[in-house]
Amino acid sequence: LGFTTVDGVGQEGLESAYNAYLAGEDGRAIVETDRKGNALAYGVEEYIPALDGYDLVLTTDSIVQSFLVSALTEAQQINSAISAQGIVLNAKTGEILAVATAPGYDPNSPSRDDLDLLRSLARNRVATDAYEPGSTFKVLTLASALDSGAINTNFGIHCPGYHMVNGEKIRCWRSGGHGSQNLQQVVNNSCNPAFMQMAINMGVETFYDYLYAFGLGRSTASGLPGESGGILTHEKYVRLNNLARIGFGQSVAVTPLQLAVAVAAVVNGGKLMQPYVIDKVVAAGGEIIEDNEPTVIRQVISEETSAMVRQLLEGAVNEG
């Protein structure tokens, strides 16, 4: 949400980004005066009434938001973390149902004693901060490899605890390795060498086509202020070793929002949805000024691939 100045001018968040919608217009009186500024008894007067600002109706759900805030606060405290952030997204529509960062602050009464601290607390890290996603990124690698035909359901690999790429030993997270595995076991075990091999099978050009199609490397244009585009090294600079690491979520940086939108596309039938937080803009009299609806940006993977990946991911939850 952000916050305003004591005079109601938006300073951060949606309050700032949509200040022109929210602020309205001051009323004013025009009075005919003499040269000393005194109103003329029979002069012309005109009163222009103030105009109320518009209301923003958000896609967020207050109950979902409260659960998310509680979970993040607990996670941050248990792990003694600097911050924790999360997002709840409707995978079918792209509506942002909840978004939060812990520790938080009261937007109605932000502490202005320490401005650096206030800026840090007010920053929506879900949209602004890029990080190496690690194993969560493997969902995108798996979907891309299956959809492109680089692997099929018969894919298998032997993991000795590392994978040799251009003479470099890149290790699995499990030092002893996972041994021989089929595709479901690869997903259950989150085996790094298997996802390296998927990326290598695709090659830079094909894998990057999918990463761009999933929306990586650019802002999602969600309406959340300060959104960054993450970090995706230009493909002409990517070597085989880099490609292998990208396959299991290293050497690439995404925002939590980007990853949520991309994973939603993997499981919702393959459609990349436009994420949005503004449901509608409403005038004081109830007139709808702007009304946002779910928007499909593009079909990234086929519905068949999406169904296959859903089944594999469900297997990982039940068995992995």
Average pLDDT of the segment spanning 108-126: 85
Strand partners, 163: 170
Strand partners, 181: 157
Give the CA radius of gyration of the chain: 26
- Spatial contact of 80 and 107, defined as CB atoms under 8 Å apart: no
Percentage of residues of the chain with pLDDT beyond 90: 75
Produce one character per residue of 184-209: b if its CB has 16 or more CB atoms within 10 Å, e if not: ebbbbbbbbbbbbbbbbbbebebbbb
**Hey, which residues are catalytic here?**
135
How confident is the model at residue 254, as a pLDDT? 97
Strand partners, 56: 281
Q: What is the pLDDT of residues 128-144, one digit of tens each?
A: 999 999 999 999 999 99
Q: Across all residues in the chain, what is the average pLDDT?
A: 94
Phi, psi of 99 (to 5 degrees): -155, 135
Confidence check: pLDDT of 105 > 90: no
Confidence of residue 54 (pLDDT cuts 50, 70, 90): very high
**pTM, full prediction:** 0.89
How confident is the model at residue 40, as a pLDDT? 86
How confident is the model at residue 4, as a pLDDT? 86
How confident is the model at residue 66, as a pLDDT? 96
Task: From residue 195, give the alpha-carbon distance in Å to each of 40, 171, 201, 221, 231.
Answer: 83, 12, 10, 30, 20
